[in-house]
Structure 1
Amino acid sequence: MKKLLIALSVAAAAMTATVANAADYVVDTKGAHASINFKVKHLGYSWLTGRFNTFEGKFDWDKAKPAAADIEIKIDTTSIDSNHAERDKHLRSKDFLAVDKYPTATFKSTSYKPTGDGKGELSGEFNLRGVTKTITFPVSQIGEGDDPWGGYRAGFTGTTTIMLKDYNMDGYLGNLPVELELNVEGVRQ
């Protein structure tokens, strides 16, 4: 009986250690330490840039097990902001995001492949305008560690390119590539 109790105690301690080392993070959007930005060429002469002001997300990260990394992001497409009210109205219309019908876009990772030096390739399902496609982000870790408020944070950045036509935006701009940039800083829970 004593051996059984010792074995159960060791198992319980191991499980507690696993839970204590859990690496669940919430993306810090309240402190504005995260952003989802985009840029697209305007007539081939300059860059039109913008962002989504409202989004939320969470991720799992353990530097000892980077291949187990996981992230989920939910974007409020009505919050698109290109710093031009009339253009934003057009971007929200059926010609582009069709926010009346598709008010959210989502990204859910399916794999993370570490490539060394804090870098890796994050793949997942991106749903925009009712269409889901697999996309891949080359990702770099910016850093991680204790913050001044007693918490622990980790931050990453990644950029990928999508084509508008792949998400049923077939108009005269459908063949334009759009660069998406995801910057996340998460607070460990």
Structure 2
Amino acid sequence: MKRLSNLLIKTTLLMSFILAGAAATASADEWSVDRNKSTLGFEVENNGKSVTGTFGTWNAKIVFDKEELDKAKIQATVITGSVTTDDSQVGGAITSQQWLDISGYPEAIFRVDNVVPAGGDLYEAGGILELKGIKIAVFLPFTLTIEGDTAHAVGEANILRNEFKIGDGVPDSTVSDKVVVTLDLYASR
């Protein structure tokens, strides 16, 4: 249980996941993300207030067959400068060098190399999130439903911003270390 908690904590911003095993099917087809319906976002506590944000530019390459999970390959790429938030103060700072450093690290990448069934429509994806040049293992549980050629995945992962040097030096009492990354992904084959 402690190991599972640690894996959940090490999950991130993004992504990512992000992205995660979003589209599954009975054949190892490649799935295309429907950008008009899909969202990748996050939530964090800032001075006791919940702040949410989204990334406007991201995509995922998904090869997924629920009958052959050992062959699943997912890579999500997020353009960090496409971030927007519901708080203008946070929105003005989040792209700076202290936070996401979009000049030095314009992309965040989540690579999934392990997907396992967790019962019913629930799956668990494990991979590596690269953010601000730092690579950390991330665990992303998600639900997946497939109807015909359309897949819908919803997932949520927790990451620790301090592990990625995001907001380096800002105390947890001001901005929580825990960031919840949210994924609502639609894809088609």
Q: Which category describes the TM-score, using the shorter chain as reference length?
A: 0.7 to 0.9
Query: Cα 1:122–1:62, aligned 2, differ >3 Å: closer, same or farther?
Result: same
Q: Who wins on radius of gyration, i.e. which is larger?
A: 1
Does the 8 Å CA contact 2:51/2:87 hold for their aligned counterparts? Answer: no
Partner of 2:46: 42
Partner of 2:109: 106
- Inter-partner Cα distance in structure 1 for 2:72 and 2:28: 12
2:121 to 118, 121, 127: 118
Runs of 4+ in 1 over 6 A off after TM superposition: none
Q: Cα deviation per residue 1:42-91 (whole Å; 9 max; x = unaligned)?
A: 222x3101110110112122232344332111001000000345532310
Q: What residue ranges of structure 2 are gaps of 5+ in the alignment?
A: 1-26
- Inter-partner Cα distance in structure 2 for 1:86 and 1:42: 10
> Alignment length, in residue pairs?
160
- Inter-partner Cα distance in structure 2 for 1:36 and 1:134: 19
2:31 to 25, 29, 34: 25
- Is 2:170 the counterpart of 1:172? yes
Partner of 1:181: 182
Please, what is the CA RMSD of the aligned residues?
1.8
SS of equivalent residue, structure 1 residue 116: coil
How many percent of aligned residue pairs carry the same amino acid? 24
With the length of structure 2 as denominator, give the TM-score of the two structures. 0.78
With the length of structure 1 as denominator, give the TM-score of the two structures. 0.78
Higher helix proportion (structure 1 or 2) = 1
- Inter-partner Cα distance in structure 2 for 1:26 and 1:77: 21
Q: What residue ranges of structure 1 are gaps of 5+ in the alignment?
A: 1-20, 147-151
SS of equivalent residue, structure 2 residue 94: helix
Partner of 1:82: 85
- Inter-partner Cα distance in structure 1 for 2:86 and 2:93: 13
Does the 8 Å CA contact 2:51/2:86 hold for their aligned counterparts? Answer: no
Partner of 1:144: 146
- Inter-partner Cα distance in structure 1 for 2:105 and 2:170: 21
